Amino acid sequence: MLIQKLVSGARRRLAQIAAVVLAAGATTVMPAQAQLSRLIPVDGVTSFETQVQFDGRQNRVLYIRPVANPVGRVPAMVVLHYAGGDPEEMANLIAISQLVRDTGIWAVIPDALGRTWSFDPVRDRRKADDVGLITTIIDGTVAAYPIDSRRVWMFGFSAGGFMTMRYVCERPNRIAAAAYVSSTLLNTLRDNCAPSLPTPVLAMNGTADTRVNYNQRIGLSSAPDSALFFANLNRCLTPPVHTLLPDVANDRTTVELDSYNSCASNDPVRFYTINRGGHTWPGNDYQIGLIGRTTQDIDGTRVIYDFVRNFSR
Band (127; pLDDT cuts 50, 70, 90)? confident
Give residue 210's identity as a one-letter amino acid code: T
| Mean pLDDT across 69-78 | 95
The per-residue pLDDT for range 30-56, each reduced to its tens digit, is 334 445 568 999 999 999 999 999 998
| Mean pLDDT across 233-248 | 96
pLDDT score, position 265: 83
pLDDT score, position 197: 96
Q: Distance between CA 50 and CA 28 in Å, rounded?
A: 6
pLDDT score, position 2: 40
Least confident of 91-105, 113-127, 136-150: 113-127
Confirm whether pTM is higher than 0.85: yes
> What domains does the chain contain, in order, with CATH numbers?
21-308 (3.40.50.1820)
Helices (H), the chain: 33-36, 87-94, 96-103, 130-144, 159-170, 187-190, 223-233, 300-308
| Mean pLDDT across 257-276 | 95
The per-residue pLDDT for range 243-258, each reduced to its tens digit, is 999 999 999 999 999 9
Task: Examine the pLDDT at 7 and tell me if it is beyond 90.
Answer: no
Band (29; pLDDT cuts 50, 70, 90)? very low
pLDDT score, position 290: 64
Cα 45 from chain centre: 19
Are 287 and 93 contacting, i.e. CB atoms less than 8 angstroms apart? yes
- CA dihedral sign of residues 196, 197, 201, 207: positive
pLDDT score, position 286: 74
